């Protein structure tokens, strides 16, 4: 969502942050791999582009605007739900990232709740399309 509006540096960094989220719980779910591929397509990155771990130090410099930070957080929160569970490791990582962006706990909760509603609507839509 809105990933195409990120700069090239932000796209590479987002992919690294997505890698952090995926490996944070120690499990790699096929749905997570699919969403990483979806991210690459939306960001016009080559499918073979590797996602590597990204340190959170200085991440606010890569995503200096509230818009870029919000895009990153919404997409990473959505990624954390794609395997069907929002694990504590994912939550801790995303809260740390939120703090690195300068978001307070109310901001994090607002973004998190928005993504939970989005995920519920996506499931509902999938049900409507099922035979």
pLDDT tens digits for 20-40? 999 987 777 888 889 999 999
Spans of all domains in the chain: 3-129
Q: How far is CA 113 from CA 7, 45, 88, in A?
A: 26, 29, 16
Q: Tell me, what's the pLDDT at 87?
A: 87
Q: Is the pLDDT of residue 49 over 80?
A: yes
Among candidates 106, 105, 118, 104, which has minimal Cα distance to 75?
A: 118
What number is the average pLDDT over the span 104-130? 94
**Per-residue pLDDT reduced to its tens digit, 58-103:** 999 999 999 999 999 999 999 999 988 888 999 999 999 999 999 9
Q: Tell me, what's the pLDDT at 130?
A: 85
Q: 5 pLDDT band (50/70/90 cuts)? A: very high
pTM, full prediction: 0.92
Q: Tell me, what's the pLDDT at 127?
A: 93
What is 3-129's CATH number?
1.10.3680.10
Q: 6 pLDDT band (50/70/90 cuts)? A: very high
Q: Tell me, what's the pLDDT at 20?
A: 94
Percent with pLDDT over 70 in the chain:
100
Cβ distance 108 to 95 under 8 Å? yes
């Amino acid at each position: 969502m809105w990933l195409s509006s990120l700069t090239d540096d932000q796209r590479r960094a987002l992919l690294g942050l997505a890698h952090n989220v995926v490996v944070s719980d120690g499990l790699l779910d096929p749905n997570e791999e699919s969403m990483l591929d979806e991210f690459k397509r939306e960001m016009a990155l080559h499918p073979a582009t590797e996602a590597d771990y990204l340190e959170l130090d200085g991440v606010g410099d890569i995503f200096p605007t509230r818009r870029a930070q919000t895009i990153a957080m919404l997409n990473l929160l959505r990624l954390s739900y794609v395997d069907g569970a929002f694990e504590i490791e994912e939550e801790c990582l995303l809260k740390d990232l939120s703090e690195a962006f300068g978001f307070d706990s109310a901001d994090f909760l607002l973004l998190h709740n928005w993504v939970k509603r989005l995920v519920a609507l996506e499931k509902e839509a999938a049900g409507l399309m099922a035979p």
